[in-house]
């Protein structure tokens, strides 16, 4: 009896979803298949993992103009993330593609479009794109988008759809954990257990460890949060979520100001266009404007 395609790519996809990008790349490179469709899907996750590792130049150089449409979408995302000064051009190109007859089986394009719209804080646009597909990943990204909009009610409703589709899927479990974190209170412990179970089944990654750290911070378990964040830092010293959470922890534990300042300096150096960095810059400019106004 033939093994279903989904099983052949399970390790590749699952590694990507939990943020184990190098393992995803390794597994994708080992996977040989006679099916062109499967090879394309494998390549989609390989290049998405390279984007997850911030290797935008590699993605752009390897994906040729003759590559299939899903890979072209990933090339567009790499361009968007690598060149902040050209983002408006990339958004225009994306909207031009979406204005025609969109191939709804091209899940990569829908995910890329929603990702770019979320970066642009155009959450309505992201939801409009994602709502056209029943793919599990599109629905999980809808949960995440609703949470960015501070709409936990809508996120919980979308989560139920995910649970009806596949309650045991890694994406469903992660979406449930995100929703629990947004709910807070006793749900933080439930979210912690979900992240722990995913680590027990797979491996610890900065994505999962940061999820646990946020649960610990919400429960004032600062020592446990520090342990999770230090492990995340060992795995990726430049992960922006880890650096932000370490800043929060430094403030909670009254560490010397230079500790938090060091993490912020690293964020500013390596993640200039991160929303957290841009928000701080905007607040600093507003503060300086007010100081000048009252000084005069």
Asked if 240 contacts 271 with a C-beta cutoff of 8 angstroms, the reply is yes
Give pLDDT tens digits for 268-286: 998 888 888 888 888 988 8
Residue with tokens 């072209």: 72
**89 to 15, 81, 86, 96, 123: CA distances (angstroms):** 32, 12, 5, 11, 19
Q: Where are the domains of the chain?
A: 1-63, 118-183, 198-296
- What is the per-residue pLDDT across 26-69, written as a single tens digit (0 to 9) for each? 999 998 877 899 999 999 999 999 999 999 999 999 999 999 99
Half-sphere exposure of 210 (CA within 13 A, CB side): 22
pLDDT in tens, 199-230: 999 999 999 999 999 999 999 999 999 999 99
* Average pLDDT over the chain, rounded to an integer: 93
**Length of the chain, please?**
296
For residue 278, what pLDDT is reported?
86
Tokens of 244: 């932000």
- The domain defined by 198-296 carries CATH number 3.40.50.1950: no
Question: CA 65 to CA 200: how far, in whole Å?
Answer: 41
Q: Is the entire prediction scored with pTM above 0.75?
A: yes
pLDDT band for position 7 (50/70/90)?
A: low
């Amino acid at each position: 009896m033939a093994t279903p395609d989904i099983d052949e790519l399970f390790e590749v996809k699952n590694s990507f979803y939990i943020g184990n990008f190098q393992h995803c790349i390794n597994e994708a490179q080992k996977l040989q298949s006679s099916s062109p469709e499967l090879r394309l899907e494998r390549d989609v996750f390989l290049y998405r993992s390279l984007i997850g590792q911030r290797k935008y130049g590699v993605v752009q150089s390897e994906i040729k103009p003759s590559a299939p449409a899903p890979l072209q979408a990933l090339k567009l995302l790499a361009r968007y993330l690598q060149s902040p000064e050209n983002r408006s051009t990339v958004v225009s190109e994306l909207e031009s593609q979406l204005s025609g007859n969109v191939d709804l089986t091209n899940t990569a394009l829908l995910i890329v479009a929603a990702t770019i719209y979320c970066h642009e804080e155009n959450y309505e646009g992201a939801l409009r794109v994602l709502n056209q597909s029943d793919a599990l990943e599109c629905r999980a990204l809808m949960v995440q988008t609703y949470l960015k909009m501070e709409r936990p009610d809508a996120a919980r409703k979308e989560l139920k759809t995910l649970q009806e589709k596949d309650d045991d899927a890694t994406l469903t479990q992660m979406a449930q954990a995100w929703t629990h974190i947004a709910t807070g209170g006793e749900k933080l412990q439930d979210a912690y257990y979900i992240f722990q179970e995913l680590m027990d089944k797979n491996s610890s990654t900065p994505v999962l460890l940061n999820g646990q750290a946020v649960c610990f911070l919400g429960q004032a378990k600062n020592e446990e949060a520090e342990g999770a964040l230090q492990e995340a830092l060992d795995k990726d010293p430049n992960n922006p979520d880890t650096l932000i959470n370490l800043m929060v922890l430094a403030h909670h534990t009254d560490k010397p100001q230079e500790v938090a300042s060091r993490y912020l300096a690293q964020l500013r150096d390596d993640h200039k266009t991160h929303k957290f960095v841009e928000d701080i810059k905007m607040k600093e400019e507003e503060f300086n404007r007010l100081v000048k106004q009252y000084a005069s």
